[in-house]
């Protein structure tokens, strides 16, 4: 990914994805990229500014169950950088073993997971990368809770055969 070189510089570049120009600017500490989120049914839409370096895979057991998948991909950003454009959000409050409570936000119509944040005095929001239109150019930069990772999820390129579409059931 090409980078802006100086502070507050606004730079457009053609991304690896052929359908979108991305605007990147450098704030004091980080690269900022504007992203557009949407749930599956389309009622919830939001816009946010993120740092593409903060895309993370989480292998924790809660993420596996809440997504129904092997792991979750999220990007952390400050709540003040997020703007809800349409729709209504429902929340589920998850209690960790440590006792920490965390808000899990989802679309009440289609159930798409949207983001998570602390229950009290939240400042940081973990946006679910699968809902972002720009997800193809947001590769994860780190993995957390690897001790509960599914061993088969480490390298799915080994899973064969591969079909372009649905394939045989």
DSSP 61: H
Judged by CB under 5 A, the residue of 24, 39, 57, 82 near Zn ion is 39
Residue 60 contacts Zn ion per CB under 5 A: yes
Give the chain's largest Cα–Cα span: 52
Selected binder of Zn ion within 55, 58, 82, 149 (CB under 5 A): 58
Please report, as residue ranges, which positions from 104 to 163 form the binding site for Zn ion (by CB under 5 A).
107, 109-110
Measured CA distances, 3 to 9, 28, 105, 110, 147 (Å): 10, 14, 32, 36, 33
Q: Which is nearer to Zn ion, 25 or 145 (CB)?
A: 145
Residue number with CB closer to Zn ion (11 or 143) = 143
Handedness of CA 118, 120, 122, 127 (dihedral sign): positive
Contacts with Zn ion: how many residues (CB under 5 A)? 9
End-to-end CA distance of the chain: 37
Q: How far is the CB of 82 from Zn ion (least distance, A)?
A: 17
Closer residue to Zn ion (CB): 26 or 89: 89
Cis (ω within 30 of 0) for the bond into 161? yes
Among 41, 65, 100, 124, binds Zn ion (CB under 5 A): 41
């Amino acid at each position: 990914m090409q980078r802006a070189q100086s502070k507050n510089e606004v730079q457009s570049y053609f991304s690896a994805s052929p359908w979108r120009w991305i605007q990147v600017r450098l704030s004091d500490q980080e690269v900022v990229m504007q992203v557009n989120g949407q749930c599956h049914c389309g009622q919830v839409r939001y816009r946010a500014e993120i740092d593409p370096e903060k895309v993370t895979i989480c292998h924790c057991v809660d993420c596996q169950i809440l997504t129904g998948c092997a792991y979750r991909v999220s990007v952390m950003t400050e709540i003040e950088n997020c703007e809800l454009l349409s729709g209504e959000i429902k929340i589920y409050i998850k209690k960790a073993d440590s006792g920490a409570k965390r808000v899990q936000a989802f679309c009440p119509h289609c159930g798409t997971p949207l983001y998570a944040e602390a229950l009290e005095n939240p400042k940081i929001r973990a946006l679910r990368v699968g809902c972002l239109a720009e997800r193809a150019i947001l590769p994860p930069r780190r993995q957390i809770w690897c001790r509960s990772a599914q061993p088969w999820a480490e390298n799915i390129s080994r899973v064969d055969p591969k079909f372009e579409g649905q394939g045989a059931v």
